[in-house]
Structure 1
Amino acid sequence: MNLRIRTLAIMLATFSLGAHAQTTFEEISADLNKAGGVYLAYPSVEAKQTPAPKGYKPFYVSHYGRHGSRYLISDKDYQWVIQLMHKADSADALTPLGKDVLNRLNLVWAEVDGHGGDLTPLGVRQHQGIAERMYNNYPEVFRGKRHISARSTLVNRCAMSMVAFGDRLKALNPQLDFNYEMSQKYMSYLCYHSPKSNVFTNNEKGPWAEEYRKFEEAHTNPDRLVSSIFSNTVFVRCVVNPREFIWGMYWIAVGMQDIETRVSFYDIFTAKELFDLWQCVNYRFYMGNANPLASNGLVMANAKSLVENIIESADNAIKDRSTAATLRFGHDGNIIPLLALLQVDNFDVSIEPSAGIYKHWCDFKAAPMASNIQFVFFENKGGDVLVKIMHNEKEVHIPVKTDIWPYYHWDAVKDYYQKRLATLPS
């Protein structure tokens, strides 16, 4: 390749990464569900699988998946908004739109009551679908009486995601031997956050907290929405905290895509209001889970033990061919640093908030509901092992040399990450 062609290739690659990272107001406006950030329901999978090089067959899959779609973390996240709206209704302080919103909230409560933090039926279906596509894409892996290790964090929605995933594989091949585990023993890599990183990521006392507070204050503008819902200014002045109300309605609105009740609250927002609120959420997730410049790799390093487990499990599966898959189930706060540590596409970008985080990093692209990373291993008759890495079932790039992308030589991948792990803070 001559210099001119090589330079063009580098420019095209850089442009591709920039286009991947860039998120715009127009993109959010075209699909308001994306304003939910990590509440985005798992997107449809349309990417095609690149055939393996001639002579290579799949034999093992290593996986880490976020739990599927869930209800808001607590019943209180719905209750306080609904109670406030009922109080306003009793005081004759709701506009016609406010009364309509209250009716919709009552419909929502009929479904969500008692389910705070639980996996939703959609979350079950998401993991069933991912499992079925994995089975159909790599049938050689799941033939016969092969063993599958499945482990989740101690959170119920993760365990239920694990069971939904595993039960679908078991239905497709009843001979598969499953070992389901939800244990404190595995939390050191399934959901690890170092004490030092917890100091940095604290959104009240962390070194970035005051800058973020000013950012959120500038991007939270509730007056228009509040005046469209409440008709009595005295009631608003004495009872309603406008900033808390717009945030409460935001979380309910963006969470509707993850539940079964088919009503929407997007009509009470402008697209700009949703975009601004999403920017705040995206800011917090970047600073708390990705690779912010000020962290010096400390946050990203939370995934070190997980990468070590991926390497160790893969080497064991290469030696002992009884294992078909290693399945792990956790949270967005585990997927995001894993993407950064692995340097998948542009998810390891390291910037200051002043650069405009949403222009460089995006939470709903990193970790929507049921987001997952898959390492799929292939081997030829000569014993050469290749690996392909997928993020949300799409083939991705990592900074390891290869002439057969999306396939990489496992020895080169393992060597690269072991050296990278050695450079990261503890």
Structure 2
Amino acid sequence: MRKLFFLMALAMLSSVVKAQLQIEPPPQIQPPKEEFKKNLRLSGGEFLAYPIPRQRKQTPAPEGKRLFYVSHYGHFGSHHHEEEMDYDYALNCLTEADDQGMLTTLGKDVLDRIRRMKAEAYLRWGELTEVGLSQQRVIISRMFERFRPVFGDGAHVEAHSTIDGQTVLAMGVALQQLLLLNQKLDIHQDASLHEMYYMSQQDSGLQAERLSAQKRQAFDAFCKKRRRWQRMVGALFNDKDYLEQRVDGEKLNRHLFRLASNLQSSELRKEMTFYDLYTDNEIYENWQKENVLQYLTNGFSQYDGGDQPYSQRNLLRRIIQQTDSCIKMSHPGSTLRFGHEMVIMPLVCLLGLDGYDQQVGDLDQLEKRGWVDYRVLPMGANIQFAFYRKNASDKDVLFKILLNENEATLPLNTDIAPYYHWDDFRDYYLQRINAYDENLAE
């Protein structure tokens, strides 16, 4: 009952302070199915290699306001699949069939492609690829050019990463690039268990509900209406009885599509593809299922209380605290944080960026309501806060927020869009996450 009252209170609070959200895709952005016809890589969802930002020109700051601080959280970038089993499920399934003479010529060819992907990633599970390293250099270089005043001679750069090797490496590459751009920066970097409580918060309660029985049931019902994978899987085997009795076709399809999606982060992308296995409609349906799964596991879905985004409340609180501290300084510089994809999507939802805090009851309507995972969570996804004021004594601090380097909206009223008043942001979000923590304590 307390949880119900808590959610009702949040809804009432939100209705008071929210500006009207644009939940439909902007006019210049086409529906996913149409976008895939121009760029199949987009169908990779969270495996999309970081794209060129859509917004080429930033909105100037209000008159008299000057940039003084930048705060950032970014995903470490394109990488190999995290576990050997990500390659081995499809590999073992097709190898067993091949040993028994059950693969078609196409099936044998697909098996060879999988072997090549695994060989490239062997003992590098989850590690950055060359594509990922390049992403860090390019993203930080654009940040340097866009926010040059905070990266001047002697400017302080405070950088943090999680303790995982790939994030430490991503941080190192980005900072190395910054030093190439300006050798006179004052850089401090850290990767410590001490910071993990907010850099990669582990909430056992929310984690247990991340893919609950209710969510799994809803996901399975969604998938049952999308079974075009049968043609593609059937083309790999020469014996229908073997396929029906020995192969979990839906699971094999999902693993193959994940390989197809992540190939764009591999050097093998120059030599082969998996997209030739699929029709346009098959690609679209595979993406739809992964997109829905992102919503169920990271968004404000209606199942199990719909509070998964609060898994990143410690990070949001830390961002607010560090910003308040930096506002008191004359020349605070920048705070850079390097972490994981499992943080980005729920943080975007918790912030309500571009309407991603909405609840969608009918999963068939999800993308029509503007929930499109690859616009939020490509490899290398990042969130950047840029802060402005007239001088160190100016109390009306303004900021804007960039999602993947595109100016984004927040569920707050503002008279200077895309800029917002920091006091409005701090008060609203602290009240929101404090209410959640207080509810847990009761």
Same fold (TM over 0.5): yes
Ranges in structure 1 where 5+ consecutive residues have no aligned partner: 1-12
In the alignment, structure 1 residue 226 sits paired with structure 2 residue 233 = yes
State the match for 1:378 in structure 2: 388
Q: Which amino acid aligns with 1:32?
A: L
State the match for 1:339 in structure 2: 348
> Does the CA-based 8 Å contact 2:64-2:390 persist in structure 1?
yes
In the alignment, structure 1 residue 388 sits paired with structure 2 residue 403 = no
In the alignment, structure 1 residue 36 sits paired with structure 2 residue 44 = yes
In the TM superposition, what is the alpha-carbon distance from 1:221 to its structure 2 partner?
Answer: 4.3
State the match for 2:81 in structure 1: 72
Ranges in structure 2 where 5+ consecutive residues have no aligned partner: 1-18
CA distance 1:46–1:356, shift in 2 (3 Å): closer
Q: Which amino acid aligns with 1:389?
A: I
> Does the CA-based 8 Å contact 1:24-1:359 persist in structure 2?
no
RMSD of aligned C-alpha atoms? Answer: 2.4
For 1:178, which of 173, 187, 200 is the aligned residue? 187
Secondary structure of 1:168's counterpart equals helix
In the TM superposition, what is the alpha-carbon distance from 1:183 to its structure 2 partner?
Answer: 1.8
> After superposition, where does 1:124-203 map in structure 2 within 5 Å?
124-201=133-210, 203=211
State the match for 1:123 in structure 2: 132
Q: Which amino acid aligns with 1:178?
A: I
> Does the CA-based 8 Å contact 2:292-2:363 persist in structure 1?
no
Secondary structure of 2:77's counterpart equals coil
State the match for 1:8 in structure 2: none
> Does the CA-based 8 Å contact 1:146-1:176 persist in structure 2?
yes
Q: Which amino acid aligns with 2:218?
A: E
Cα distance in 1 between the residues matched to 2:184 and 2:312: 33
Identity %: 33
State the match for 1:403 in structure 2: 415
Cα distance in 1 between the residues matched to 2:164 and 2:289: 26
> Does the CA-based 8 Å contact 2:73-2:382 persist in structure 1?
yes
| Deviates most, 44-53 or 379-388 | 379-388
State the match for 1:45 in structure 2: 53
In the TM superposition, what is the alpha-carbon distance from 1:193 to its structure 2 partner?
Answer: 4.1
> After superposition, where does 1:287-302 map in structure 2 within 5 Å?
287-302=296-311
> Does the CA-based 8 Å contact 1:75-1:115 persist in structure 2?
no
Alignment size in residue pairs: 412
TM-score, normalised via structure 1 length: 0.89
For 1:323, which of 320, 332, 346 is the aligned residue? 332
For 2:25, which of 15, 19, 24 is the aligned residue? 19
| Deviates most, 169-178 or 236-245 | 236-245
In the alignment, structure 1 residue 303 sits paired with structure 2 residue 309 = no
Q: 1:228-261 CA deviation, whole Å, 9 max, x = no partner?
A: 1122335435543322221221111111111111
| Deviates most, 63-72 or 376-385 | 376-385
Cα distance in 1 between the residues matched to 2:89 and 2:260: 15
In the TM superposition, what is the alpha-carbon distance from 1:198 to its structure 2 partner?
Answer: 2.0
Q: Which amino acid aligns with 2:140?
A: A
In the TM superposition, what is the alpha-carbon distance from 1:14 to its structure 2 partner?
Answer: 6.4
> Does the CA-based 8 Å contact 2:89-2:252 persist in structure 1?
no
| Deviates most, 244-253 or 369-378 | 244-253
Cα distance in 2 between the residues matched to 1:284 and 1:246: 16
